[in-house]
Amino acid sequence: MNDIPLSHLLDVAICAAEAAGKHALENKERRTETNEDFAHDVKLVLDVESQKKAETMILSEFPDHGILGEEDETPNHNSAYEWVIDPIDGTMNFSHGFEYWCSSVAVRKNQKVVAGCVYAPDFNTFYTAHIEETAKVNGVPIQVSPTESLQRAMIFTGLSKEMEGSREPHLDMFRMLALNSKKVRINGAAALDLCRVADGTCDGFFETGIYLWDYAAAGLIAEQAGALMATYPRDGVPHGATVLCSNEHLIEGLRAIYTKCI
């Protein structure tokens, strides 16, 4: 199989993220139309519609590639390429009219993420990267923060949608980080949080209840901006993981806290 140029894959990721995000934005008066309602999550009609927009864009260019989306998947085991889509990351924010949400599209080749785009429509911001280029925001290179100690760091996190019942390591980690960092913040869109690690706005990110589509594109963007990621798959949860991400100075501190809390 011929290699597809990374720049071409990235262009398609950008177009697909834009298609999903624009569809949601242009239809935001329908943002509360709901397909399913859970204790700590909601599935919107616009989630499904927006994923379709991204898929249509991708498949018009690469009809034989696989699709793995938050809302739906169409695997193709004969193709080395698979597109990982979160049409609306930060669904709760979007449904409440809070601007902190985004559309995320990554492409994997033989299971490795090689290019990705996170588009934040309400901020008119595109975060992009492929594996041979530095990460960019709206075409301008970005870099992680230089912060050297957790005591001086602002860390972003998210609250998992699966919080019922058993002991929740996330809350233990939240407590330890709140006590040991300068500030912890919860904004509600993991992909955008990772992009804000990439552009140096915050110093690190962690979340225990996260999925591949939440971090595929943004994780690459963070890494290509100089971040280090630690990803721990969650037993029995397909595509589920705990993700830690920060600059090189803080990652061991995050890892140590995670290890104490699991």
The nearest distance, CB 89 to ligand IPD, in angstroms, is 4
The nearest distance, CB 192 to ligand IPD, in angstroms, is 8
Could you give the CA distance from residue 260 to residue 224 in angstroms, rounded to a whole number?
29
The nearest distance, CB 186 to ligand IPD, in angstroms, is 8
* Buried b / exposed e along 129-158 (16+ C-beta atoms within 10 A): bbbeeebbbeeeebebbebeebeebbbbbb
Query: Which residue lies nearer to ligand IPD by CB, 61 or 73?
Result: 73
Query: Which residue lies nearer to ligand IPD by CB, 82 or 193?
Result: 193
Instruction: Compute the 3-state secondary structure of the chain and give helix, strand, coil in percent, each to the nearest 5.
Output: 35, 30, 35
Q: List contacts with ligand IPD (CB under 6 A).
A: 70, 86, 89-91, 158-161, 188-190, 207, 209-210, 214
Query: Which residue lies nearer to ligand IPD by CB, 6 or 159?
Result: 159
- Residue whose C-beta lies closest to ligand IPD: 158
The nearest distance, CB 105 to ligand IPD, in angstroms, is 13
Query: Which residue lies nearer to ligand IPD by CB, 62 or 83?
Result: 83
Rg (CA), the chain: 17
Q: Where does 110-194 show beta strands of DSSP type E?
A: 112-120, 125-130, 136-137, 140-141, 154-157, 183-186
Could you give the CA distance from residue 63 to residue 82 in angstroms, rounded to a whole number?
11
The nearest distance, CB 146 to ligand IPD, in angstroms, is 26
Query: Which residue lies nearer to ligand IPD by CB, 62 or 205?
Result: 205
